[in-house]
Protein backbone atom coordinates (compact mmCIF):
# COMPACT_ATOMS: atom_id res chain seq x y z
CA UNK A 1 0.00 0.00 0.00
CA UNK A 2 2.99 2.32 -0.16
CA UNK A 3 2.17 3.07 -3.79
CA UNK A 4 -1.41 3.85 -2.82
CA UNK A 5 -0.01 6.15 -0.14
CA UNK A 6 2.05 7.90 -2.80
CA UNK A 7 -1.09 8.30 -4.90
CA UNK A 8 -2.82 9.92 -1.92
CA UNK A 9 0.09 12.35 -1.61
CA UNK A 10 0.01 12.99 -5.35
CA UNK A 11 -3.74 13.70 -5.36
CA UNK A 12 -3.36 16.09 -2.44
CA UNK A 13 -0.57 18.00 -4.16
CA UNK A 14 -2.08 18.05 -7.65
CA UNK A 15 -5.58 19.04 -6.61
CA UNK A 16 -4.90 20.95 -3.37
CA UNK A 17 -6.85 18.48 -1.24
CA UNK A 18 -6.45 18.02 2.48
CA UNK A 19 -5.61 14.51 3.61
CA UNK A 20 -9.08 14.26 5.15
CA UNK A 21 -10.62 14.80 1.71
CA UNK A 22 -8.96 11.74 0.17
CA UNK A 23 -10.21 8.24 0.87
CA UNK A 24 -8.72 4.94 -0.22
CA UNK A 25 -10.86 1.90 -0.87
CA UNK A 26 -9.84 -1.68 -1.54
CA UNK A 27 -11.11 -2.85 -4.92
CA UNK A 28 -9.88 -6.37 -5.75
CA UNK A 29 -11.03 -6.32 -9.38
CA UNK A 30 -8.83 -3.27 -10.17
CA UNK A 31 -11.36 -1.86 -12.63
CA UNK A 32 -12.21 1.41 -10.86
CA UNK A 33 -9.18 3.66 -10.87
CA UNK A 34 -10.66 6.73 -9.23
CA UNK A 35 -13.80 8.22 -7.78
CA UNK A 36 -14.79 11.83 -7.62
CA UNK A 37 -17.53 12.93 -5.24
CA UNK A 38 -19.32 16.11 -6.27
CA UNK A 39 -20.82 18.70 -3.96
CA UNK A 40 -24.26 17.09 -4.27
CA UNK A 41 -22.86 13.76 -3.04
CA UNK A 42 -22.86 12.03 -6.43
CA UNK A 43 -19.99 9.67 -7.09
CA UNK A 44 -18.34 9.41 -10.51
CA UNK A 45 -15.98 6.56 -11.29
CA UNK A 46 -13.30 6.10 -13.92
CA UNK A 47 -13.40 2.47 -15.05
CA UNK A 48 -11.10 0.58 -17.38
CA UNK A 49 -9.06 -2.57 -17.55
CA UNK A 50 -6.13 -2.70 -15.12
CA UNK A 51 -3.56 -1.90 -17.78
CA UNK A 52 -0.81 0.71 -17.38
CA UNK A 53 -0.80 1.27 -21.14
CA UNK A 54 -3.91 3.42 -20.67
CA UNK A 55 -2.39 6.16 -18.46
CA UNK A 56 0.84 5.99 -20.47
CA UNK A 57 -1.13 6.51 -23.71
CA UNK A 58 -3.02 9.40 -22.12
CA UNK A 59 0.18 11.02 -20.85
CA UNK A 60 1.95 10.70 -24.20
CA UNK A 61 -0.99 11.95 -26.26
CA UNK A 62 -2.21 14.75 -23.96
CA UNK A 63 -4.15 16.93 -24.69
CA UNK A 64 -5.40 14.80 -27.59
CA UNK A 65 -7.35 11.62 -26.92
CA UNK A 66 -6.24 8.81 -29.18
CA UNK A 67 -8.78 6.20 -30.22
CA UNK A 68 -7.50 2.86 -28.93
CA UNK A 69 -9.02 -0.40 -27.73
CA UNK A 70 -6.68 -0.88 -24.78
CA UNK A 71 -9.32 0.29 -22.32
CA UNK A 72 -12.28 -1.52 -23.85
CA UNK A 73 -14.20 -3.59 -21.36
CA UNK A 74 -17.70 -4.97 -21.16
CA UNK A 75 -19.35 -3.80 -17.92
CA UNK A 76 -21.66 -6.82 -17.98
CA UNK A 77 -18.65 -9.11 -17.58
CA UNK A 78 -17.45 -7.68 -14.28
CA UNK A 79 -18.52 -7.39 -10.68
CA UNK A 80 -17.32 -4.56 -8.49
CA UNK A 81 -16.50 -4.94 -4.80
CA UNK A 82 -15.19 -2.32 -2.41
CA UNK A 83 -14.09 -2.24 1.21
CA UNK A 84 -12.28 0.09 3.55
CA UNK A 85 -8.60 -0.70 4.02
CA UNK A 86 -7.62 -2.46 7.22
CA UNK A 87 -5.19 0.10 8.62
CA UNK A 88 -3.55 -2.52 10.86
CA UNK A 89 -2.75 -4.56 7.75
CA UNK A 90 -1.55 -1.54 5.72
CA UNK A 91 0.63 0.60 8.00
CA UNK A 92 2.35 2.28 5.04
CA UNK A 93 -0.97 3.84 4.07
CA UNK A 94 -1.31 5.30 7.56
CA UNK A 95 2.26 6.59 7.35
CA UNK A 96 1.54 8.25 4.00
CA UNK A 97 -1.37 10.20 5.49
CA UNK A 98 0.79 11.19 8.46
CA UNK A 99 3.59 12.33 6.14
CA UNK A 100 1.10 14.31 4.07
CA UNK A 101 -0.12 16.11 7.19
CA UNK A 102 3.48 16.76 8.33
CA UNK A 103 4.41 18.54 5.11
CA UNK A 104 6.36 18.28 1.90
CA UNK A 105 9.62 17.20 3.51
CA UNK A 106 7.98 14.27 5.26
CA UNK A 107 6.37 13.11 2.01
CA UNK A 108 9.75 13.18 0.27
CA UNK A 109 11.26 11.26 3.20
CA UNK A 110 8.40 8.72 3.04
CA UNK A 111 9.17 8.05 -0.61
CA UNK A 112 12.94 7.80 -0.11
CA UNK A 113 12.71 5.56 2.95
CA UNK A 114 10.23 3.29 1.22
CA UNK A 115 12.48 2.93 -1.83
CA UNK A 116 15.48 2.01 0.33
CA UNK A 117 13.49 -0.44 2.47
CA UNK A 118 11.86 -2.10 -0.55
CA UNK A 119 15.26 -2.55 -2.17
CA UNK A 120 16.53 -4.19 1.03
CA UNK A 121 13.50 -6.49 1.01
CA UNK A 122 14.03 -7.37 -2.67
CA UNK A 123 17.63 -8.25 -1.84
CA UNK A 124 16.50 -10.53 0.97
CA UNK A 125 17.97 -8.36 3.72
CA UNK A 126 14.73 -7.66 5.61
CA UNK A 127 11.25 -9.11 5.90
CA UNK A 128 8.34 -7.55 4.04
CA UNK A 129 6.83 -6.41 7.33
CA UNK A 130 10.05 -4.54 8.17
CA UNK A 131 9.48 -2.05 5.33
CA UNK A 132 6.86 -0.09 7.25
CA UNK A 133 8.97 -0.17 10.43
CA UNK A 134 11.91 1.41 8.60
CA UNK A 135 9.70 4.09 7.02
CA UNK A 136 8.09 4.86 10.39
CA UNK A 137 11.49 5.30 12.03
CA UNK A 138 12.71 7.59 9.24
CA UNK A 139 9.59 9.72 9.62
CA UNK A 140 10.33 10.30 13.30
CA UNK A 141 12.82 13.00 12.28
CA UNK A 142 11.79 16.58 11.63
CA UNK A 143 11.57 17.60 7.97
CA UNK A 144 10.79 20.98 6.40
CA UNK A 145 7.11 21.68 5.90
CA UNK A 146 7.85 23.30 2.52
CA UNK A 147 10.42 22.25 -0.07
CA UNK A 148 11.22 25.52 -1.80
CA UNK A 149 13.71 24.29 -4.41
CA UNK A 150 15.25 21.19 -5.96
CA UNK A 151 18.31 21.41 -3.72
CA UNK A 152 16.11 21.12 -0.64
CA UNK A 153 14.22 18.20 -2.17
CA UNK A 154 17.51 16.44 -2.93
CA UNK A 155 18.82 17.15 0.57
CA UNK A 156 15.73 15.70 2.27
CA UNK A 157 15.78 12.69 -0.05
CA UNK A 158 19.44 12.05 0.74
CA UNK A 159 18.94 12.53 4.48
CA UNK A 160 16.04 10.07 4.53
CA UNK A 161 17.98 7.50 2.47
CA UNK A 162 20.96 7.70 4.82
CA UNK A 163 18.65 7.33 7.81
CA UNK A 164 16.92 4.32 6.25
CA UNK A 165 20.27 2.67 5.50
CA UNK A 166 21.38 3.27 9.11
CA UNK A 167 18.14 1.78 10.43
CA UNK A 168 18.43 -1.21 8.10
CA UNK A 169 21.83 -2.08 9.58
CA UNK A 170 19.99 -2.86 12.82
CA UNK A 171 17.96 -5.50 10.98
CA UNK A 172 21.00 -7.33 9.59
- The domain in which residue 61 lies consists of 2-77
Q: Three-state SS across 87-141?
A: CCCCHHHHHHHHHHHHCHHHHHHHHHHHHHHHHHHHCCCCCCCHHHHHHHHHCCC
108 in a domain, yes or no?
yes
Q: Outline where DSSP puts E strands in 30-83.
A: 32-37, 43-47
Are 144 and 97 in contact, with CB atoms under 8 Å apart?
no
List, for residues 25-36, the tens digit of each pLDDT value.
Answer: 999 998 888 888
82 in a domain, yes or no?
no
**Are residues 58 and 121 located together in one domain of the fold?**
no
List, for residues 48-85, the tens digit of each pLDDT value.
Answer: 888 888 878 888 888 998 877 766 788 888 899 999 99
Predicted TM-score (pTM) of the model is 0.85
132: domain CATH number is: 1.10.1740.10
Amino acid sequence: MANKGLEVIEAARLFSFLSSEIQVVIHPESRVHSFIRTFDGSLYAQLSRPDMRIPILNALSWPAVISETVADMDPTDIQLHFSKPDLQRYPLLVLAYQALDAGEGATAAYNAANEVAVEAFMNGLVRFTDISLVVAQVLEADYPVRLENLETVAAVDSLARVAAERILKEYR
